[in-house]
Structure formats: C-alpha cells, structure tokens
Chains A and B, each alone.
Chain A
Amino acid sequence: MSDTKREQKVIDALKSQFGDKILEAEIPALRRVNIKVADPDQLEVFAFAKEKWNAWHMVAISGVDTPEKVIACIYHFDIIPPHNGETAVTMNLRVDCADYNNPKLTSSSEVIPGVQFFERETHDLLGIFFEGHPDLSRLILPEDFPDGVHPLRKDFLLEIQKEEAAKKAKK
C-alpha cells in the first residue's frame, strides 16, 4: 500500500473532534476510511464533515444483516478535493442498530436531504425504521407485499435457498 497520509489525517481530525464517540477507525485500502459510531452521533459526523471538508456527496447507504445477528447500516460518503490533481477519500461510516427484531436509527435527512430515497430503500429491504424521516413509505417493494417481511434479512429464504437447505439436511 502506498502513501495513506491523507486518510490518516481524516481519522486524526475526526478523533480529535469526537474523541470516544468514534468506536472504530481503520484504513482498509487506499482512498478508503472505515469508521464506526453509535446511533445519533452520525448526524454530528456528517455535519462536521460537511463543514470542514465540504463533504456534501452521500454516495449510498447499504444495510447489512451481519453474521453476528446485528443489523448494520453503512453510509458511504466522500470528500471531494478541489480538483488540483488529488483524488477523493471515501468514508464508510457504520452504525449498528441496537435491537435485531426492531431496528431503529435516527434519520439523517435533515443534515443531508439527498439521503431520503436511500433510507426508504433500506427501510423497505431490511426493515430499519428511520426516526424523523419525512415520508417513510414503500419505495421498491410492491404495495401488496406483506408487512414486516424484509427480503434482505438472512431469515428470508428464496426457493433456491430452501432447496439447498433441504439437500444439506438430507445428507
């Protein structure tokens, strides 16, 4: 791995600002920073990043049902340089939901209005409830889809997965 000075600088700035609120921080690869915070702190991090580095660009939100039975929400946003030959640094900010069966997070749509659709998508597919979202209605799933069923959870099995499981049980 070549020079990761800029990534380290980002982590240092966040640590000096937030201290213990940053639970984990690492540099997994060039131009990437992984951070983990607890629930309402992500809003402060977004506001801080927006002010300090002009990090307006929320790229995506990924929801993951992790192997440790935790619903995690990962915000990807990047710090775009003023185009003098430098590259951007992308942050993956992970926030874990406390309750697996009833996951809740604070909506960041007040800080960054552009995340509305990403949050609605995550709400549809993983069932994370975003508190304070202006309109958390169905986005992707059909209107007659049963309530409380979230297809990207690991306990929702496709036909092909059920067949595989049955084959394994037979063996």
Chain B
Amino acid sequence: MAKKKIKVASPKTGCAACMPNTMEIPLGPQHPALKEPEHFLLEVEGEIIVNVTPRIGYVHRGIEKLAETKTYSQNLTLVERVCGICSHVHSISLVNAVEGILSKHDFEVPERAQYIRTIILELERVHSHILWLGIAAHEIGFDTLFMLSWRDRELSMDLLEEITGNRVNYGINEIGGIRRNMTKEQLDKTIKYMHLTIERLDRYVEICLKEDTIRLRTQGVGILLPSKAKELCTCGPTARASGLAVDIRYDDPYSAYKGALRDILKVVTYDTNDVFSRVVVRLIETIEACKYIIWLVENMPDGPVFAKPPRKIPEAKILSRTEAPRGELIHYLWSNNTNKPYRLKITTPTLANILSVSEMLKGDYIADSTISLASIDPCFSCEDRMITIINKDRRKSKVWTWNFDQLRKYSREWNAKNKRWKK
C-alpha cells in the first residue's frame, strides 16, 4: 500500500450543497499520489467518495504571456519548459504551427528531419509510458515492478541523451529542421535497444495480465464509462481505455505520420473502462511505439536536416494538434508578420482530463483514490537536480540533500564500482 498523508478535517457544517453525514478530506496540494501540486477536496460518506472538487493552478508560470515577448526561436526553448517529461512534443507542436504557416509560402522541411523528430517523439512516449507504469506499480504497492520498469526506462533515456545531447529538455528542434543529425551507429543502436525494450515490455504485459497483485488493485477501480468520457471531452490514453478510438497521430497526422507510417499505425483501445484498462492500453501502446521507431529507422531517407526559414512569419491563425504521451496537446498561434507571436495558446491534456478524474473517484473508496488519480498520468512539472533521502523510522530521521555536483560524483563512483546491468 502506498503511504498516505491524509488529514481528516472536522465534520462539515453550514454547507447547504453537501449531503448530511459527509466529511471533507483535503487531498493535496502536497500529496501521496503525485509529485506535482494539485488539490482535490474529497467529500466522503464513511469510506466512499461522493463528490470531488479539484483545484489547480499551483504551478502557473505565465508562459503564454511570456511567449508574446520572445522570438519564435526563443519560444522553442520556452515551450520545452512547460513539461519535463513530454518536452519534445511541445516544441514539435509549435514548430508544426509555424511551419504550417510557412508551407503556404513554399517553405518545406526536409523529410529526414521529420523522421528524426518522430523517432524522438516515439522515444519520449516509450519513456513516459514506462515511467507511468512504474508510478502506477508504486501506488499499488508493487515496488518490484516499479524498480524493474524504471531500470528498463533507462534504455530509452540513454538513447535520447545520445541522439539529442540531453535527458530532459532535448533542444533539438529548430524552425525548418533539427539541430543534430543521426549517425549510422546511433541508428543501429536505436534498433538494438528497441528490440531489448520490446522483449522487456512483453514480460510486463504478461505480469500485468496474470499477476493478482495488479488485478486485485486495478480491476473495477476508477471506472469511466464511454458515455461519460464523451461528455467530459476526455482525450488520449484515458479516452482510449474507455473504448473511444481517438488518436491525433491517426486522426490529424503531422510530422512523419503523414506518410506511410500512418498505414501501420494502430489505435489501441480496450473496453473495461477501469484502471486495469489504462494499464493495458499504455503497455500495448508502448510496444507499438517501439515498432514504429524500428520502422522509422529502417525507412529513414537521406538528405539534409535543416532548411533556413525566413525570420518574419506572415500573418495567419493556425491550430496545431499533436498527440502527447498523456493525450492531446494544442498550440493555437496568431502571427502578425513579425518575428514574435501575437498570441500563443497552449492547452495540455491534463486540463482536459481533470474533470474525468473527478468522475472516476466518485463511488470509490478513499484507499483507491491514489491509483485512480495516477491513472490519467497527470503531468509532473519538472525534474529537480536534487535528491532527498529520509529514513523510514521517523525518530531517527536523517535527511541528505545532494546538489547536482555531488550527485554526479556519486554516480561516477558507483558506476566505477558496479558493473552496469546492460553489459
């Protein structure tokens, strides 16, 4: 079981809207399920949740306003900072919007650049979904799977680091192409690592389908019926787990999905509508993503990876839709014939899915709220370069805080001593 820090408030009085004999339990902003601040006010009757009021906005940073003061090239760096896990998809979305405007003025992006972008997009989906599997396993108290899956996530993280130079904010996109080409060795390594990842994931699918620990905690929990999902405009894997076949890669193709890749693209859906369904959809999607990466590497065209764009972007209004690991990402751009955007609107998948979480939690036990919350894969803001270790025994608590240099030193020493598991 995951540890919970739930504070029980005094019985509610003087609220006409709530039912008699209900209590309010604040969940968050610092919470058991997520590493990101988000507040949920659970209204409970005994152990059963009857109503949920979400409150978001704790990490609002005013990025949309700031984007109006920066040039398009600077904005690519800015929008990558919206999210630490799916940073590439944000810059792809902006780049697609700008290139969409330029394409009406005879500007074309080299095809090889599109293929490499898509490889990174899919790698990002692989590492994000495996990360989610680890989190979900941790929430239900299956820490072995958590450790194992995060170990295997390192394969895709290492690939990303080798291709782009960074582990988190890749910074590989540029309007008109990409900044780094992929070498022959990198392509070979990608194929090798992806086969390894598929092998591992097959094992996890087997575990998730057969293991009682997972089935008992996830089946019948956090149910979101298709009719409700439609009503609440759910998107991404959460919608697909409720049996709705929506996938922007297929519905509104962009980058390399426009071409032959769309023919082998599968929209994975599952119809049990619960947390188990979301586990299955994400796992199968990850395996499919690995296959797309192999296909992209095998069919990679030769040629340049960058074409110089004009500095000023002609006036237009354009909507760019992309499928982020968590769902649908929207960038709506108004340009005004200068080098800065007039208005850039970003809508992230978690905002669209928050209402669905409230729906999922209703009628469930408090104990299941953490896995239901985690099941939509809410976006973790960013990774701190810092580690804090707290002893489980509180009386002898000991806190270590490492900065980046100390952490790096430790990792080097550890690697020198221990044989890395991959070799």
Contacts and interface: CB of A to CB of B under 8 A. Distances in A.
A74 B235 contact: no
Interface residues of B, number: 41
Interface string B327-346: 01010101010000011010
Contact of B345 (A32, A62, A83, A140): A62
Nearest to B53: A135
Interface stretch (B118-126, B170-178, B314-322, B386-394): B314-322
A90 B321 contact: yes
B332 A74 contact: yes
A104 interface: no
B321 A59 contact: yes
Contact of B57 (A142, A151, A156): A142
B271 interface: no
Interface SS, B side: mixed
B312 to A, nearest CB: 16
B235 A57 contact: yes
Contact of B65 (A76, A80, A158): A158
Interface stretch (A3-11, A12-20, A95-103, A114-122): A114-122
B66 A158 contact: yes
Interface SS, A side: mixed
A149 interface: no
A90 B64 contact: no
B57 A113 contact: no
Nearest to A79: B251
Nearest to A151: B65
A76 B332 contact: yes
A133 to B, nearest CB: 14
B100 A29 contact: yes
Interface string B56-70: 110010101110010
B267 interface: yes
B330 A114 contact: no
Nearest to B253: A87
A90 B322 CA distance: 13
Contact of A59 (B60, B316, B330): B330
Interface string A61-74: 01111010000001
A64 B347 CA distance: 14
A152 B64 contact: yes
A148 B334 CA distance: 25
A117 B321 contact: no
B354 interface: yes
B385 to A, nearest CB: 27
A88 to B, nearest CB: 4
Contacts of B231: 56, 112-114
Contact of B355 (A76, A78, A114, A142): A114
B79 to A, nearest CB: 15
29 contacts: A56-B230, A56-B233, A57-B230, A57-B246, A58-B233, A59-B321, A62-B332, A65-B343, A80-B251, A83-B245, A83-B267, A87-B251, A88-B252, A90-B321, A92-B319, A113-B231, A113-B232, A114-B355, A117-B354, A118-B347, A139-B56, A139-B57, A140-B57, A140-B60, A141-B57, A152-B64, A158-B62, A158-B69, A164-B69
